[in-house]
Amino acid sequence: MRDIEAIKQHEAALQRSATVWIVTGLLFMLLPGTFLGAWNLISISDEHGAAHVDPAWIQAHGHAQIFGWIGCFILGIGFYSLSKMRGQAPFAISRSWTSWALWTAGVGLRWATNLWRWEWRVALPVSGVLELAAFLLFFLTVRGHRGEKSPSEGGQGSRIWIGIVVVGTMGFLLSLLANLGAAIHSAFEGAGPAVAPGLNSRLLAVYTWAFPVVTIWGFSARWLPTFLGLSRPDDRLLKAALAINTAAVACALGAWWLPATTLFLAGSITAAAGLRIFSRGERPPKIVGVHPTFPLFVRIAYAWLLIAACISLSAAVWDKAGGLWGASRHALTVGFISTMVFAIGQRVLPAFCGMRVLFSPVLMFAALASLNAGCFLRVGSEIGAYEGYLPALWSVLPVSAIIEMTAMTLFAANLFVTFGQDPPHLRYQQRAAQMQGS
């Protein structure tokens, strides 16, 4: 009995830690991320260009979204799920809290430094060191995980998802090392905390394609066959997609943009084919507790991935004013990454954070629908406005920002209310106790 009680207490402690990671990520998404991004875009629209907007502010928004939001989610899920699979290691909880403190301090310091420039030559590298230390503590905790084997799936194929996640984790590490290197370079050579435009473009390719994109492919291979009723992923195609994407990231680091973007498109097509994402499901999707459009939005997200890759290839050939590059990044970060987080996150996070049930599937649909509507407006208007094809579209950019900000707020509110409710089994126990008492 004591062992069972200890396991329950440990599980509850892991869930509390995961909840704090997720809530922190949501706060980074809303305040330093989305609201600042909307403010930047409104300023850019007013000036009909980004020349009058501090690039440090734009980079602060991006850092809060990629590392503050997505980074918190990945680290929180990783500490919970991988530590649990490794046998409920007793040190996982204390390391999770320490990593959270380091990560939150690092991301928060980076955001504040970019905005207010206080002692930025010191604060900028310190923020990178804190983030890297938090990640290394996470890596130390979950290293050696090999994934569980399914009785129906023997051999290497049953572990393909964890192999992809490992590659994404290495991309995470590469991103943090590159971030620290750029911070040190800016501290010694820069005139301010903003990373130089040419270097920043190369870093953004690493921060997106090497890190969250690959990690999402891994979690897709793990969860989508069950959630969407798809057939088992094609391991060979997924391995080929990883190889192609790795070559693309290497080309991007060398600023060889035409081969890089060609490979990004080839890798995205191969990954979608390997996951069978656009194939008819073999079984009905599992949509209990979420909105019935959940499978549709997952497929829309992968359509955005292909659109982002196509626009990036076009940018490598035709971009003149940054509109195509900006549109490709937005299609990738909001269209693909954010839509996948909105869809999969509201499917799995309530269970990770205390075995809860999502508060409102209707809010889930509203968040996903408005996010994709805002992204559609942003991508189209950014190309037309920046590149001068249709200058009237400058007025559409703030509208897209407000719609996306609304979507982010709905997503966060749905999860906040979900986490504030008691899990169904506790509510059942309370009702049973009340009935017995009466």
In tens, the pLDDT along 158-201 reads 478 989 999 999 999 999 999 999 999 999 999 999 999 999 99
| Residue 316, in any domain of the structure | yes
Phi and psi at residue 143, in whole multiples of 5°?
-60, 150
Q: Look up the CATH number of the domain holding residue 295.
A: 1.20.210.10
Which residue carries 């509507």 as its tokens? 373
DSSP H helical segments within 70-205, as ranges? 72-85, 92-116, 120-142, 160-189, 197-205
Looking at the structure of the chain, the number of domains it has is 1
* pLDDT band (50, 70, 90) for residue 14: confident
Residue 306 has pLDDT above 80, yes or no: yes
The pLDDT of residue 432: 47
pLDDT score of 198 = 93
Does residue 426 sit within a domain? no
Instruction: Assess if residue 358 is contained within a domain.
Output: yes
Two tokens, residue 283: 């079984």
Q: For residue 62, what are its two tokens?
A: 């991006």
Question: 436: pLDDT confidence band, cut at 50, 70 and 90?
Answer: low
pLDDT at 80: 87
Residue 265 lies inside a defined structural domain of this protein: yes
DSSP-H helix ranges across 64-119: 72-85, 92-116
- The proportion of the chain whose per-residue pLDDT surpasses 70, expressed as a percent, equals 90
- Read off the pLDDT band of 50 (50, 70, 90): confident
27-36, 157-166, 263-272, 381-390: range with lowest mean pLDDT: 157-166
User: pLDDT for 102-142, tens place per residue?
Assistant: 999 999 999 999 999 999 999 999 999 999 999 999 998 87
Q: Does the pLDDT of residue 296 top 70, yes or no? A: yes
CA distance 95 to 89: 10
Which of 70-84, 196-210, 307-321 bottoms out in mean pLDDT, i.e. has the lowest? 70-84
Is 91 inside any structural domain?
yes
Summarised one tens digit per residue, pLDDT across range 232-280 is 999 999 999 999 999 999 999 999 999 999 999 999 999 999 999 999 9
Which of 66, 186, 185 is CA-nearest to residue 131? 66
Q: Which two tokens stand for residue 181?
A: 């290197």
Beta bridge pairs of residue 150? 153
Say yes or no to pLDDT of 341 above 80: yes
Evaluate whether residue 432 is within a structural domain: no
- In this prediction, residue 11 carries a pLDDT of 80
42 pLDDT higher than 50: yes
The rounded Cα 296 to chain-centroid distance in angstroms is: 19
Answer whether residue 428 shows pLDDT above 60: no
Which of the four pLDDT bands, split at 50, 70 and 90, describes residue 90?
A: low
Structure tokens at 426: 């506790």
Domain that holds residue 39: 2-145+160-185+193-420
Instruction: Of 81-85, 153-157, 215-219, give the range with the top mean pLDDT.
Output: 215-219
Task: Please check whether residue 38 lies inside any domain of the structure.
Answer: yes
Closest to 372 in 3D by CA, of 397, 349, 400:
400
Side-chain-side CA neighbours of residue 419 (13 Å) = 23
Q: Does the pLDDT of residue 221 top 60, yes or no?
A: yes
**Considering only 39-48, 174-183, 384-393, 409-418, which range has the smallest mean pLDDT?**
39-48
Tokens 């990520």 found at: 25
Of all residues in the chain, what percent carry a pLDDT higher than 90? 76
Q: What is the mean pLDDT of residues 197-211?
A: 96
pLDDT at residue 426, rounded to an integer: 54
pLDDT in tens, 61-73: 999 999 999 999 9
Residue 317 pLDDT level (bands cut at 50, 70, 90): very high
pLDDT(23) > 70: yes
Q: Is the dihedral of CA 127, 133, 139, 142 positive or negative?
A: negative
The average confidence (pLDDT) of the chain is 90
User: What is the spatial distance between Cα 252 and Cα 258, in angstroms, rounded to a whole number?
Assistant: 9
- 55 located within any domain: yes
Q: Is the pTM of this model over 0.85?
A: yes
Q: Which helix (DSSP H) or strand (DSSP E) does residue 358 occupy?
A: none
